[in-house]
Structure 1
């Protein structure tokens, strides 16, 4: 592979750039605890895996070149973020006394699905993987092996980063065990998710 180290550095910088995934992981970890944060982060990694699989199979090019499919994914992603923001704004404000505050009424897999849908329903990720990954693959030189390495790398980098990030958020969450902070934080993240959803809906290709 040509310039694999550049691929790693670029992927790391993109992973560290805050976005909807980061907002969601931060919210779920700070409000619900480390376990929920890991589930959300696992969903994000699953979403990246799906994007890479689609890119490798060549479906990304079809989606990116189809105005209808691209618009469907874009508006589905925007709707998801806006609904998550509204749900966050009007959800109950839990206390942060332990890591077991997740509502019993909430399905265990829902946080994983939140992370996955947040990532999968991002049309910019489709364009990114479609245009970014092929630049580092050398034709006729173990193409399948190169695709596997290139595909696994973003998932591993994201997994390592989110593992560190969730533990960091979990560590500092005990400093903010105040109802006023919880309320303000949920309002902030709710508005951020809605803003990101609206921004995505009006964003051009």
Structure 2
């Protein structure tokens, strides 16, 4: 695909700023990194990116237009996503001990798959992500060159790749704190509750979001 240097620069800067901005996916990744270390943090990021790719495919096939034009469809996905974020937040708020207290190695594999699914659902159930890809990607597509679906998927994949790279930096920056938190369980518990409060707040914000 043919794009000018200016267009590529704008695309990369915009995709990077999107990934740097705080949101439910970043809060989720940071909380899992602090609680379980780098491996689970990267698993959370992979789940979030997988969910984002579902939206890219939907945008490429035109399915995201339904969320942008149908108030009913948008509200349905919005409220399900908001409820899921609030559920995760309340779960963290009322936990009796920090996630750092779970040290059973036999649960590592199950925990990783659960974290991956949670990350994927957080992104899939956020209609704002669907509308972002539908509004953002077409600005960089060269229609006259054809292969619109392929271009959409390629650009969407690049956005996700940039996002994963930035999220990995967050993961590797946050993970060393886990050693400190394991030695200060009370502080870790309150940190879990702070993340839970943020998730509840983000869920409430999503529930009141409009399509514009």
Q: Same fold (TM over 0.5)?
A: yes
Residue 107 of structure 2: SS of its match in structure 1?
coil
2:191 maps to 1:185? yes
The TM-score with structure 1 as length reference comes to 0.91
TM-score normalised by structure 2 residue count? 0.88
Is this contact kept in 1: 2:81–2:126, CA < 8 A? yes
2:107 equivalent among 99, 104, 107: 104
Runs of 4+ in structure 1 deviating by more than 6 angstroms, as ranges, are: none
SS in 1 for 2:199: helix
Counterparts of 2:193 and 2:91, CA distance in 1: 10
Aligned equivalents of 1:200, 1:121: Cα separation in 2: 10
2:97 corresponds to: 93
Count of equivalent residues = 204
CA contact (8 A) 2:19 2:163 kept: yes
Q: CA deviation at 1:167?
A: 1.4
8 Å contact kept, 1:74–1:121:
yes
**Native 8 Å contact 1:94 1:101 kept in 2:** no
Q: Which residue of 2 aligns with 1:173?
A: 178
Supply the RMSD in Å over aligned alpha carbons.
2.2
Are 2:164 and 1:159 equivalent residues in the alignment? yes
2 CA distance for matches of 1:88 and 1:113?
17
Equivalent residue runs for 1:126-145 within 5 Å: 126-144=130-148, 145=150
More helix by share: 2
Deviation at 1:89, TM superposition (A): 1.4
Q: Deviations over 1:47-70 (max 9, x none)?
A: 111111000001111221111110
Match of 2:43 in 1: 39
Change (3 A) 1:172 1:62: same
Q: How far off its partner does 1:175 sit?
A: 2.8
* Offset, 1:143: 2.9
CA distance in 1, matches of 2:145, 2:197: 48
